[in-house]
Structure 1
């Protein structure tokens, strides 16, 4: 019976030179202390670097949110030395109980609902075709992308004042309509002065400012689609319209959810456009919930109270949270 020969032990470099190999040096008692000291120094350095951001967030974020939440249960005009604790009375006054505040809030909520429906819908209907056309452009794509993105990077207040000038009774819109023989469509009071056209005009201006970001999101999604998928649909006989409706549109559905969520949030909580251009007028025909919260805090003639404004702000936060959860559920079901 044959036996398998054992391999010879490997010779170390020291043994090859005829030297006795040195044993491994054992770690001394001071090595652990040095490692612990170094780790402690690194941890303290890291904490010191992040401390300013943490303190700023704690003061401007957590403290402000907590302060505002407590203020929503009190009545305070911003000048009195003490609060008057009223519990849920602020919420009751806003929703149904106080005849001075509840009707205004109901009108503002209805206008906000119109904006929340129209702005996301029109933004998607305008931005997706623009992204498709821009994606198919062979020349000057970078220039066109920059031109379409100009409304977003331009100073908001300057743009709003420019829109005010364009929409005045003697502004550019009425002038162009008159020169085209459609003077019957012009508005002698201005497009923002007529109660029937003020809110639709504000919706158009809001969509104009929301389209650039949505278009770039769609353009990013279109450029990430595998070309073989589009080529396969064309080989199957699908035309341009059928390809974009049946193939491209389902693939960019997650981007559509993001665009809708962003515009719903801005439509629910944003008020800068309405404040600068109309301040809720004419009458209260362009008053929205965000602007109403601002008015309750600073502009109300009837005993301004920061408690009511804070309560309305938390109602808006709850509505935004519900919308975000619904959108998250829709995105999960879509994927």
Structure 2
């Protein structure tokens, strides 16, 4: 009786093994179908990226080596002449680009620095707030969710000669500080005013990033610092600030990129004026492509755009190296 029992037991075991082998083949088949359907679903987006992204990228690179006004069916190949004209060769374009580069450099330094100096203390205070914390965070985040053009138009109205800023200064007895030609019309105050507006619009995201980093810090580290006799300032400067070095690097990179390539605020509020004091490289690229009276300039605009790209890439690489070396 023992042998038949063993045989009867062995037969189902063999069938079960075959069943398991069969079941192992089916998931592979289904997984292949899922992968195929995944490629089908992403194909439209991939095709759109290839057409609108890769093609335009290579077309722009080719355009930076030609002279073309965008209207004629033929263009003239000039090689590196567009780059040379922008950097030093042309007495018409090179001085304008140099001045725009200096303005851009000033914005690249001032905006990230002021954004960090404002957003970090604000995030620390909001992180320790007990009452109305959610309301305060929402209020401070309003500038970011508001449409940029509407905000810039509102700022123009506030900063005009008879705007709210001059009216406030006059009512406080500080009439000597008001600007009769408007804060955007005075060459001495136009760029600082735009920097303040850019910082005002950049603080919400930076504050949110800092707030997220603060909430991830182990509270035992702060308690240990307080037990060692560190006060509020010493704790935040010596303990919290070094722990958020990565967040600071991200915020700096985002604001540097915006200062380097962004031009919407300069186009809407000043259009580079007065007297070119607020002209930046992004706005100059736009002017060369669409608002330049001396045609043809699309090749120059593409060349300047690629110069901006290489500068932005270098800044990103340096920022990544610095952030990686920090403990």
| Bin for the TM-score computed over the shorter chain | over 0.9
1:300 aligned onto 2:289: no
1:22 aligned onto 2:11: yes
* 1:175-208 Cα distance to aligned partner (Å, 9 max, x none): 0001111000000000000001001111111111
Checking the alignment, whether the CA contact within 8 Å between 1:269 and 1:289 is kept in structure 2 is yes
Structure 1 residues 35-44 or 268-277, which shifts more?
35-44
Instruction: State the Cα distance separating 1:44 from its structure 2 match.
Output: 3.0
Q: Distance in 1 between matches of 2:36 and 2:154?
A: 53
Distance 1:102 1:241, change over 3 A: same
Name the larger-Rg structure.
Answer: 1
- What are the within-5 Å matches in structure 2 for residues 109-128 of structure 1? 109-128=101-120
Distance 1:129 1:41, change over 3 A: closer
Moved over 6 A (4+): 31-37
Distance 1:257 1:41, change over 3 A: closer
TM-score by length of 1: 0.91
1:333 aligned onto 2:322: no
Aligned residue pairs total 321
Q: Distance in 1 between matches of 2:235 and 2:27?
A: 63
Distance 1:67 1:238, change over 3 A: same
Q: Distance in 2 between matches of 1:57 and 1:98?
A: 36
Distance 1:239 1:27, change over 3 A: closer
Q: Distance in 1 between matches of 2:26 and 2:119?
A: 60
Q: Distance in 1 between matches of 2:27 and 2:47?
A: 30
Instruction: State the Cα distance separating 1:73 from its structure 2 match.
Output: 0.6
Instruction: State the Cα distance separating 1:42 from its structure 2 match.
Output: 3.8
Distance 1:106 1:34, change over 3 A: same
Q: Residue 194 of structure 2 aligns with which residue? A: 202
Q: Residue 59 of structure 1 aligns with which residue? A: 51
Checking the alignment, whether the CA contact within 8 Å between 1:164 and 1:277 is kept in structure 2 is yes
- What are the within-5 Å matches in structure 2 for residues 82-161 of structure 1? 82-161=74-153
Q: Distance in 1 between matches of 2:314 and 2:241?
A: 26
TM-score by length of 2: 0.93
Instruction: State the Cα distance separating 1:253 from its structure 2 match.
Output: 0.9
Distance 1:228 1:218, change over 3 A: same
Checking the alignment, whether the CA contact within 8 Å between 1:298 and 1:304 is kept in structure 2 is no
Instruction: State the Cα distance separating 1:43 from its structure 2 match.
Output: 4.0
Instruction: State the Cα distance separating 1:129 from its structure 2 match.
Output: 0.7
Tell me the secondary structure at the aligned position of residue 188 of structure 2: helix
Instruction: State the Cα distance separating 1:37 from its structure 2 match.
Output: 6.4
Q: Residue 68 of structure 1 aligns with which residue? A: 60
Checking the alignment, whether the CA contact within 8 Å between 2:127 and 2:215 is kept in structure 1 is yes
Tell me the secondary structure at the aligned position of residue 11 of structure 2: coil
| Aligned with 1:249 (options 232, 238, 241) | 241
Instruction: Point out where structure 2 has 5 or more consecutive residues left out of the alignment.
Output: none
Select the structure that is richer in helix: 2
Checking the alignment, whether the CA contact within 8 Å between 1:74 and 1:87 is kept in structure 2 is yes
Instruction: Point out where structure 1 has 5 or more consecutive residues left out of the alignment.
Output: 1-10
Q: Distance in 1 between matches of 2:58 and 2:302?
A: 11
Q: Distance in 2 between matches of 1:269 and 1:334?
A: 27
Q: Distance in 1 between matches of 2:118 and 2:80?
A: 43
Distance 1:239 1:55, change over 3 A: same
Q: Distance in 1 between matches of 2:205 and 2:262?
A: 16
TM-align CA RMSD: 2.2
Distance 1:36 1:166, change over 3 A: closer
